[in-house]
Amino acid sequence: MSRKQPIRVVAACGLGTGTALYLKMTVEEILKKAGIPAVVETADATLAPAMNADIIVTGPDLAEMFRQRGRAREIVAVTNYGNRAEIREKLLAAIQRLEGSTP
Amino acid sequence: MSFLEALDERIRILERVGSWAEAVRISGELLAADGLVTPLYVERMIRTCEELGPYIAIAPGIAIPHARPEDGARAFGLSIVVVKEGVSFGSHNDPVYVLIAFATPDRSAHIEFLRQLAEILARSEEIAHALARLETGEQARAFLRTLLQEEDSASRSGEDPS
């Protein structure tokens, strides 16, 4: 998988503090191991939909809201934040869809 | 600051609670009693969950109640409330047995804490059930100390290569 621009990921939670930081750390580790260049930022529920991101990673409740009004091309909904395999699988699938749709 | 340093003596083990909000309030009051947060912070911990849904139940059996730094967090710290009978948050990860509440006065990452939290969440069901079988805060702290030390040596000896 090669791309010129790093993928822009937003890790979002209700407040943009605890859970989002936790997700950011996890997502950065996963993408680093996968050798995928990425810029990962955190955001709260209000800010996240307005941000210029390729992917938003968040929980199932906010994911539904972001799908309806977000600008991100892919929304990844994580059910179990302790399950790194779940996060990795969903994130890499979203990146593949992005790669497929890139003009 | 490590998980156990941030936790200090703030562990409460309860048989049952009337609602998730009561459990969150108790976790917040443990922080407030030690001056880590203001009473407003405790109110905001509950309101956040009411407004934004049960997303704080982030792994099977475990929730992490918190509010924003500007809601009245004075110092970094944790508290743990164990509900032996479990409590429903209306989440995929119900029933919740363990609430790990935290406060942080800034948005810095507290990497050591997050790394240890990740270790706990990775085995959340097993750990939640184990904590729910204990009777005292001392037992819970001893359990966590052993767990996190074991995890420390395990993660030094070999990381998952994928």
pLDDT in tens, chain A (103 residues): 555 689 999 999 888 777 888 899 999 999 999 999 999 999 988 888 888 899 999 988 888 888 887 777 899 999 999 999 999 999 999 999 998 875 5
Is residue A83 one of the residues assigned to a domain?
yes
Of B56, B104, B121, the CB nearest to A82: B121
Phi, psi for A44 (deg, rounded to 5): -95, 180
Q: Which of A13, A17, A28, A58 to mutate to test the interface with B (most CBs of B within 10 A)?
A: A17
Per-residue pLDDT at A13: 86
> What 3-state DSSP class applies to B13?
strand
In the DSSP assignment, the letter for residue B59 is B
Please indicate, yes or no, if residue B110 is contained in any of the structural domains.
yes
- Domain containing B74: what range? 3-156
Instruction: Evaluate whether residue B161 is within a structural domain.
Output: no
Nearest to A56 by CA among A98, A18, A2: A98
Torsion of CA B115, B117, B123, B124, to 10 degrees: -160
Residue among B67, B120, B124, B115 at smallest CA distance from B92: B124
Task: Give the number of domains in chain A.
Answer: 1
Say whether pLDDT at B152 is over 60. no
* List of chain A residues whose C-beta atoms are within 8 Å of the C-beta of residue B56: 14, 19
Residue A70 C-alpha, separation from nearest chain B C-alpha, in angstroms? 16
For chain B, what is the domain count? Answer: 1
Q: Which residues of B touch A25 (CB under 8 A)?
A: 109, 111, 114-115, 118
Torsion of CA B130, B133, B136, B138, to 10 degrees: -20
Judged by a CB distance cut-off of 8 A, whether residue A19 touches chain B is: yes
pLDDT, one tens digit per residue, over B127-151 is 999 999 999 999 999 999 999 885 5
ipTM: 0.76
- Whether residue B162 lies inside any domain: the answer is no
CB contact under 8 A, B162 and A60: no
Closest by Cα among B36, B31, B37 to B12: B31
CATH code, domain with B112: 3.40.930.10
Nearest to B159 by CA among B110, B119, B100: B119
Strands in A7-12's sheet, in edge-to-edge order, are A38-43, A7-12, A55-58, A74-77
Q: Tokens standing for B69?
A: 């730094």
| Residue B71 is assigned to a structural domain of this protein | yes
Residue A91 lies in a domain: yes
pLDDT in tens, B101-132: 999 888 775 777 888 888 899 999 999 999 99
Decide if A3 is inside a domain. no
Chain B: residue whose CA lies nearest to A88: B162
Q: What CATH code is carried by the domain that includes residue A33?
A: 3.40.50.2300
**Residue B111 identity (one-letter amino acid):** I
DSSP designation for B75: S
Q: What is the pLDDT of residue B52?
A: 79
Domain assignment present for residue B149? The answer is yes
Domain that holds residue A51: 9-101
